[in-house]
Each structure stands twice: as structure tokens, then as C-alpha cells.
């Protein structure tokens, strides 16, 4: 079995494991930086959510029709005071 047959997923997992063991637990600054870069990269890919969002609403409009989008603010919550018992 050659090294190429493992694929990029296995390589990423190996680097991540080494970075965790040698950097976070072992004290190596180089591996600690590698660990931080990998964590930031995985976090940023989750935050940016690459790809298209699903279509939530679709409506065909005829000439002369319009579509209005409004934002309604959420109602204010009643503040709960600590220690107060219900009446």
C-alpha cells in the first residue's frame, strides 16, 4: 500500500494528531502553531459555510406585481428578578 492511497483526509488527520500530541501536549512551538492554524482553518470553513444556501421561498411575479420584505423586531422579554416568587 503506497502513501498516496491514504488520501488527503488521512494526511490531515495525521498532521492534526501530531500537532495535538507534539504541540499542545509536548510543548513544541512549531507543532503548536500548526495546531492553531488547523483549528482556525476548520473554524473559518464552518463560519463562512461555502456553497449555496437552500432556497426558502420562491414566488413567480407577474409584470406590475411587487414583493416586500420586512423585518419585525422580536417582542421584548419580561425581566426575571432573582428570588421573586410568583404571586
Upper half-sphere CA count for residue 4 (Cβ side, 13 Å): 0
- pLDDT beyond 70 at 10: yes
Look at residue 31 and tell me if it is in a domain.
yes
Look at residue 53 and tell me if it is in a domain.
no
Phi-psi region of 18 (alpha: psi -120 to 50; beta: other; left: phi over 0): alpha
Look at residue 73 and tell me if it is in a domain.
no
Q: Domain range for residue 31? A: 3-48
Look at residue 16 and tell me if it is in a domain.
yes
Look at residue 68 and tell me if it is in a domain.
no
Number of domains in the chain: 1
- Each residue's pLDDT tens digit, 22-80: 988 888 999 999 999 989 988 887 777 766 767 788 888 899 999 888 888 878 877 66
Amino acid at each position: 500500500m503506497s502513501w498516496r492511497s491514504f488520501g488527503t483526509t488521512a494526511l490531515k488527520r495525521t498532521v492534526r494528531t501530531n500537532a495535538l500530541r507534539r504541540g499542545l501536549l509536548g510543548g513544541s512551538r512549531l507543532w503548536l502553531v500548526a495546531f492553531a492554524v488547523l483549528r482556525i482553518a476548520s473554524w473559518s470553513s464552518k463560519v463562512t459555510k461555502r456553497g449555496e444556501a437552500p432556497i426558502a421561498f420562491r414566488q413567480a411575479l407577474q409584470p406590475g406585481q411587487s414583493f416586500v420584505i420586512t423585518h419585525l423586531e422580536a417582542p421584548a422579554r419580561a425581566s426575571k428578578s432573582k428570588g421573586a416568587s410568583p404571586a
